Structure 1
Amino acid sequence: MSLSLRRNVTAGMPAALAALALLTAGCGGQDDNKPASGADRATSATPHGYVAGAQEAAEQQSRLVLNDPRTGATRVLDLITEKVHDVPRARGTAELTTDGRFGYFHAAGGTRILDTGAWTVDHGDHVHYYRAAIRDAGRLPAATGARVRSDAAVTAVVDENGRAVTYRRAGLEKGRADSPRTLPGKHAGAVVPYAEHLLTLTDDGKTARLEVYDREGRRVASPHAPCEEPSGDAVTRRGVVFGCADGALLVSADDGGFTAAEIPYGADVPAGERASSLRHRAGSDTLTSPAGDAAVWVLDVTERTWTRTETGPVVAANTAGEGSALLVLETDGALHGYDIATGKHLSKTKRLLTEVPKTPAADSTGPLIEVDRSRAYVNDPEGRRVYEIDYNDGLRIARTFDLDMKPALMAETGR
């Protein structure tokens, strides 16, 4: 597979063997009396989260899934080894999403699943990083418009008609989709696995309302909080956020139950300027979304506040959160950095996009910004390349990956 890599500076990748030893040792003190099941069982020889055939690593094993819907060309770019893996074609992909390990190629005929072989198991006080072989993991019958969300135990799928089913995660890890379990009701957005339950907004034809199900699909006591015109969702350390017409709804686990808190915009916001999608760094509590044609919303989940930053015309936005800059890909083709608190413009790159789309990216379609703990990635479809940006160093271009296909769709896994 053809790949030309251009570096602006030498970017070493330390082995960090000492860190790996600490990670493994960190599980030695786990409470052996605490029940565990499946891949989460731990012994002195088998760390928490281990999956047969996987290799534990000392650092996050980031990989980019790339797809050209027109030709079907699909690649997995390993950001650690810099190797590009050629995988079977996926033509007609309308949207590419990920749950941190699996790539989901949504098309008219169904959703193809690709196990990218890179994932993170987060235990709160420590994490484990794994890498394994890349392989197909079957297909889901849900077609274009399906919403797929996962945790360590289940994968929930809502089709374009609002019907929801769940699959056992263990089956997907073995390369197959087991028989699904159907959830009752019609769902207005994604069903989000969280805190060993399933959170969803059910649609009664008027206002969507929060419902909580157990893993078997039984309704449990829930706040029944309303959310008009739901759009977008995200899992943060503070809870699950659902976008609503008047702002957002934050749902948190609370001593075996669940609480819901509204986070309003604080003013009436026209429909075209509301947060239509919620993007963030995995594990961050700061969410972003375009706010119309020339501004970006930032939602601080911890402080429960919205901030509107006036920018140039927006193609895509994201942030690493926790004091980092707001990253905005604008119609001048450059990546810009803004101070979230003040809105001050801080820095910009050279022009990155060979051709600028006329409308902002929706979900994963078109140029976008993927963000992890130290880098951001911008895809340039027409230029057949991906840029790696060091957002902690004035938006320095750390690496440029030249490809043999148009990376029109991109998603980062290993998180």
Structure 2
Amino acid sequence: MALTLLTTGCADGRNTAGSAPPAGPPASATPHGYVEGAQEKAEQQSRLLLNDPRTGDTRVLDLITGERHEVSRTPGTTALTTDGRFGHLHGADGTRVLDTGAWTVDHGDHAHYYRAAIRDLGRLPGTSGGPEGAGTHVRGDAAVTAVTHADGRAGIHRRADLEAGDLGTPRPLPGTHAGAVVPYAEHLLTLTADAEGAPRAAVYDREGERVPVPDVRCEEPRGDAVTRRGAVFGCADGALLIRADDGTFTAEKIPYGTRVPEGERAADFRHRAGGDTLTAPAGERAVWVLDVTERTWTRVETGPAVAANTAGEGSPLLVLRPDGALHGYDIATGERVARTKPLLEDVPGTGPDATAPRPVLEVDRSRAYLNDPAGRRVYEIDYNDGLRVARTFDLDMEPALMVETGR
């Protein structure tokens, strides 16, 4: 196994997670999105950030080279999130930020791909509280990172500070917020309580000034996602979509169309970065698929679902079931179109181990990744080829938590 030990804060400035990158290009040749010390590549530089909450073992798996980079241990991690480059390890003692050194700058008609050294930035100031969703929310884009605390207060970090390895001092955002503050279209989208305490759509500019947006409620908000069509917030009666159109913000509801019991509402959205099709558990026996472009919900009766995701655009809905096999479903018909052999002998989060973190499915433009904690491995799945297992990455730790960066 290729294992590289990462040492942070070296005085000589060498990249200990790989060979030192060349000096940056001259100003006249600097590509869009370039960061000092980074290398621009011709393809997406995908990496997986992996953590075992029990032992604290943490690794960055480079999907291009196959190298496994060992980073500082973080025990007690309750959730792992990412903005595409920075990994956020949430725990009772705060949120640690790790620069995974891989990211994409998307300009719509073209994209730039970068790789750099892996760096541990330390813990975000003022963060504390258990799982992401009940404690600290962290969301980011190419310019800012928004940190929303358990009390609803939020602070905005300059992305340039994080890229330089400095967490910096956050600038407070006015008001209190229900759920995450989400950077989108050079603004900050959120839900703020009205006089009756009901969360409503709100938009701020980067200086913290309110921007006009239609007055739309989102009762009992939970879950959020950013797509090319706008930012989505989960609500009791469906979803709230906030989007920008020539500098003007709109807000509209995408209702379920029927009353959905609380335990079957979409609350944990998963999708391909840049995609417009979201998935979320619909209770224990089905999966919701939200087509943001068409503004439609589809409930796919999959049976018990442990994890789900999709690349959208005609790709199958991927579902890990308690049998340890990965199943593929046609979203339009609900028909199962593919199935693997059991890949996981022990599926965390089910049976007597119901409190353990459940495996996740990370999806990019051509592959899906499934973590197998008990088997100490990650599977790479070609979802366009009958769910073929393309590669298996063996590890020296249990990857109970996983996110993909470089996207």
- Return the TM-score normalized by structure 2: 0.90
Other structure's SS at 2:319 match? strand
The answer to whether structure 1 residue 114 and structure 2 residue 106 are counterparts is: no
Q: CA deviation at 1:43?
A: 5.1
TM-superposition CA deviations, 1:182-221 (whole Å, max 9, x none): 1122211110111111000013463210111111112121
1:142 is matched with 127
TM-superposition CA deviations, 1:34-77 (whole Å, max 9, x none): xxxxx9x9954110000010000010000000000111000000
Query: What is the correspondence of 1:5-404 to structure 2 with a 5 Å cutoff?
Result: 44-140=28-124, 141-143=126-128, 144=130, 145-204=135-194, 206-359=197-350, 365-404=357-396
Contact (CA 8 Å) 1:209, 1:227: kept in 2 or not?
Answer: yes
Contact (CA 8 Å) 1:42, 1:48: kept in 2 or not?
Answer: no
Give the AA of the match of 1:115. Answer: D
Q: Name the % identity.
A: 73
Q: CA deviation at 1:366?
A: 2.5
| Counterpart-to-counterpart distance in 2, 1:107 and 1:390 | 33
| Counterpart-to-counterpart distance in 1, 2:266 and 2:26 | 41
Contact (CA 8 Å) 1:98, 1:413: kept in 2 or not?
Answer: yes
| Counterpart-to-counterpart distance in 2, 1:365 and 1:55 | 35
Residue range with higher mean Cα deviation, 149-158 or 213-222: 213-222
| Counterpart-to-counterpart distance in 1, 2:35 and 2:357 | 31
Relative contact order, CA 8 A, sep 6+: which one is greater? Answer: 1
Other structure's SS at 1:351 match? coil
Contact (CA 8 Å) 1:2, 1:403: kept in 2 or not?
Answer: no
Count of residues in Structure 1 that have an aligned counterpart in Structure 2 = 378
TM-superposition CA deviations, 1:289-338 (whole Å, max 9, x none): 01011100000000000000001201010000000000001111111000
Contact (CA 8 Å) 1:387, 1:399: kept in 2 or not?
Answer: yes
- Return the TM-score normalized by structure 1: 0.88
Other structure's SS at 1:202 match? strand
Q: CA deviation at 1:2?
A: 5.8
Show structure 1 runs of 5+ residues with no match.
Answer: 4-38
2:19 is matched with none
Contact (CA 8 Å) 2:2, 2:66: kept in 1 or not?
Answer: no
RMSD of aligned alpha carbons: 1.9
| Counterpart-to-counterpart distance in 2, 1:196 and 1:312 | 40
Residue range with higher mean Cα deviation, 333-342 or 203-212: 203-212
TM-superposition CA deviations, 1:115-148 (whole Å, max 9, x none): 0000000001100000001011232131232111
| Counterpart-to-counterpart distance in 1, 2:189 and 2:349 | 35
Residue range with higher mean Cα deviation, 329-338 or 202-211: 202-211
| Counterpart-to-counterpart distance in 2, 1:57 and 1:296 | 36
Contact (CA 8 Å) 2:322, 2:350: kept in 1 or not?
Answer: no
Give the AA of the match of 1:117. Answer: G
| Counterpart-to-counterpart distance in 1, 2:357 and 2:139 | 18
Quick one: structure 1 residues 83 and 372, their matched pair in 2 at CA, closer, same or farther if it must change by over 3 Å? same
Contact (CA 8 Å) 2:324, 2:345: kept in 1 or not?
Answer: yes
| Counterpart-to-counterpart distance in 1, 2:348 and 2:29 | 51
TM-superposition CA deviations, 1:219-256 (whole Å, max 9, x none): 12122311001111111111111111000011110221
Q: After the TM superposition, which segments of 4 or more aligned residues of structure 1 sit over 2 Å from their partners?
A: 41-44, 203-206, 357-362
Other structure's SS at 1:170 match? helix
Quick one: structure 1 residues 308 and 100, their matched pair in 2 at CA, closer, same or farther if it must change by over 3 Å? same
| Counterpart-to-counterpart distance in 2, 1:359 and 1:209 | 36
Contact (CA 8 Å) 2:361, 2:369: kept in 1 or not?
Answer: yes
Quick one: structure 1 residues 60 and 192, their matched pair in 2 at CA, closer, same or farther if it must change by over 3 Å? same
Other structure's SS at 2:250 match? strand
